[in-house]
């Protein structure tokens, strides 16, 4: 049985579709099959490290050397050069040849070419990087849209103050303009550093003040489109650790969407209203709610509303605002959810844990 078995083994190695070679204790090629010669060249008698790697010495961490020493099967992911000098990626398997006892005189090398898979993986990573760039650009556009929306309200306040010669209103409107200029500056700083993943910079802030800030920024714009913008702040709210810029952007996005839902509501008899609620969260922390009584979200769209690139606004939206809001909330170890009834309105709820819980989770 041994002769037929050996003959079958030789035929199998000769016609195997993967590169296979045999080396001696000096790491010199004693035999190689056609796929090996096609990939690395016909170099019988040359050291494997010279043929496969272009090196002049045995590779560090050589698995074949371990197979010679310990009679073990080996595996490693490698990079080498083919017969034309091009880089190739391959998975190397080694096995001892000869008697079951005594020193190993020869080792079988099997190289599975993974160059195509490695190339595709590199292309996938490049595609992911380009997707991140696209997501960043679209997110910036969405943020700029929100800033411009708030700026419209600030400009309206300044214009009406000038028209009525109202000094107090003029100062209030100018403060709003300055606040939005600061947001633009912050946006530019973030743009210059967008390649770096930005972790939230947490500070202890008053949630009620953030809710009232939304009213100051959007109330005048609401007057222009017939939407009341109000804050409902629970008494004695404790300060919560949050990134004020990030949470400002989250709430601004939700308020802007809520106002759009009211503006596009075909029910002219309805008194449209957007409420920004700040209340205590069970177990510590804070809940922000943005409620509107606008068009609501259809049952079909409710299943897709937090998905990337989904929008109900057609060409008026990027579909990324809620996705970016969700990501920011999750970076705060918080959650976001919503409840909506078509024709009646929508409520988005952001829950942030207490400051000590946030710091513990972050650490």
- pLDDT, one tens digit per residue, over 269-290 is 899 999 999 999 988 889 999 9
Q: What's the pLDDT score for residue 287? A: 94
Q: What's the pLDDT score for residue 101? A: 79
Examine the domain organization and report whether 185 and 299 are in the same domain. Answer: yes
Q: What's the pLDDT score for residue 317? A: 38
Examine the domain organization and report whether 94 and 128 are in the same domain. Answer: no
Between the CA atoms of 341, 279, 321 and 133, what dihedral angle is there, to the nearest 10 degrees?
Answer: -150
The chain-wide mean pLDDT, for the chain, equals 81
Examine the domain organization and report whether 154 and 258 are in the same domain. Answer: yes
Of 113, 144, 170, which closes a domain? 113
Examine the domain organization and report whether 240 and 131 are in the same domain. Answer: yes
Of 85, 113, 141, which closes a domain? 113
Under a CB-based contact definition with an 8 Å cutoff, are residues 92 and 109 in contact? yes
Pairing of strands 106-113, 87-97: antiparallel
Examine the domain organization and report whether 127 and 13 are in the same domain. Answer: no
Under a CB-based contact definition with an 8 Å cutoff, are residues 72 and 66 in contact? yes
Residue 95 sits at the vertex; the CA angle it makes with 93 and 96, to the nearest 5 degrees, is 155
Q: What's the pLDDT score for residue 109? A: 92
Q: How far apart are CA 242 and CA 248, in angstroms?
A: 10
Whether 118 is in a domain gets the answer no
Whether 279 is in a domain gets the answer yes
Examine the domain organization and report whether 53 and 143 are in the same domain. Answer: no
Whether 235 is in a domain gets the answer yes
Examine the domain organization and report whether 108 and 195 are in the same domain. Answer: no
Q: What's the pLDDT score for residue 157? A: 87
Q: What's the pLDDT score for residue 107? A: 93
pLDDT in tens, 295-340: 998 877 777 665 544 444 433 333 456 777 787 888 888 999 999 9
Of 59, 94, 113, which closes a domain? 113
Query: Which residues, in sequence order, are CB contacts of 305 under 8 Å at separation 6+?
Result: 297, 312, 322, 338
Q: What's the pLDDT score for residue 18? A: 87
b/e sequence 176-193, b meaning 16+ C-beta within 10 Å: beebbeebeeebeebeee
Which of 225, 223, 260, 249 has its CA nearest to residue 147? 249
Examine the domain organization and report whether 65 and 141 are in the same domain. Answer: no
Range of the domain at 189: 123-362
| DSSP conformation class of 269 | T
Q: What's the pLDDT score for residue 294? A: 93
Q: How far apart are CA 124 and CA 133, in angstroms?
A: 14
The half-sphere exposure of 213 on its side-chain side, counting CA atoms within 13 A, is 17
Examine the domain organization and report whether 87 and 127 are in the same domain. Answer: no
Q: What's the pLDDT score for residue 357? A: 47
Q: What's the pLDDT score for residue 133? A: 61
Length of the chain: 363
Domain count, the chain: 2
Q: For 82-94, give the secondary structure using H, E and C.
A: CCCCCEEEEEEEE
Q: What's the pLDDT score for residue 346? A: 93
Examine the domain organization and report whether 45 and 191 are in the same domain. Answer: no
Residues of the chain with pLDDT under 70: 1-10, 128-140, 142, 186-200, 304-321, 355-363
Whether 305 is in a domain gets the answer yes
Examine the domain organization and report whether 56 and 168 are in the same domain. Answer: no
Q: What's the pLDDT score for residue 313? A: 45
The CATH number covering residue 153 comes to 3.30.565.10
The CATH number covering residue 75 comes to 3.30.450.20
Q: What's the pLDDT score for residue 24? A: 93
């Amino acid at each position: 049985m041994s002769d037929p078995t050996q003959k079958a083994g030789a035929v199998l190695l000769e016609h195997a579709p993967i590169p296979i070679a045999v080396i001696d204790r000096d790491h010199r090629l004693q035999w190689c099959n056609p796929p090996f010669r096609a990939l690395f060249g016909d170099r019988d008698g040359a050291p494997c490290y010279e043929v496969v790697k272009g090196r002049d010495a045995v590779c560090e961490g050589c698995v074949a050397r371990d197979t010679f020493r310990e009679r073990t099967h080996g595996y490693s992911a490698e990079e080498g050069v083919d017969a034309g000098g091009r880089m190739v990626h391959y998975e190397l398997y080694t096995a001892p040849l000869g008697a079951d006892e005594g020193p190993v005189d020869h080792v079988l090398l099997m190289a599975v070419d993974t160059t195509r898979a490695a190339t595709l993986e590199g292309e996938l990573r490049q595609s992911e990087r380009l997707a991140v760039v696209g997501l960043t650009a679209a997110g910036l556009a969405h943020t700029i849209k929100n800033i411009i929306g708030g700026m419209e309200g600030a400009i309206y306040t300044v214009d009406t103050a000038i028209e009525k010669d109202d000094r107090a209103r003029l100062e209030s409107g100018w403060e709003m303009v300055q606040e939005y200029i600061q947001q633009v500056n912050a946006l530019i700083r973030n743009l210059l550093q967008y390649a770096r993943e930005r972790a939230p910079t947490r500070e202890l802030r008053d949630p009620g003040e953030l809710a009232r800030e939304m009213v100051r920024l959007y109330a005048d714009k609401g007057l222009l489109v017939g939407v009341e913008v109000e804050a409902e702040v629970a008494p004695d709210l404790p300060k919560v650790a949050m990134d004020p810029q990030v949470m400002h952007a989250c709430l601004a996005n939700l308020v802007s969407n809520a106002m759009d839902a009211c503006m596009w509501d075909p029910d002219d008899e309805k008194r449209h209203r957007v409420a920004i609620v700040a209340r205590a969260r069970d177990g510590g922390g804070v809940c922000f709610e943005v409620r509107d009584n606008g068009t609501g979200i259809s049952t079909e769209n409710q299943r897709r509303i937090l998905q990337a690139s989904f929008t109900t606004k057609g060409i008026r939206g990027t579909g990324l605002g809620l996705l970016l809001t969700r990501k920011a909330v999750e970076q705060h170890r918080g959650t976001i959810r919503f409840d909506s009834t078509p024709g009646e309105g929508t409520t988005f709820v952001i829950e942030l844990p207490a400051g000590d819980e946030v710091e513990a989770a972050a650490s």
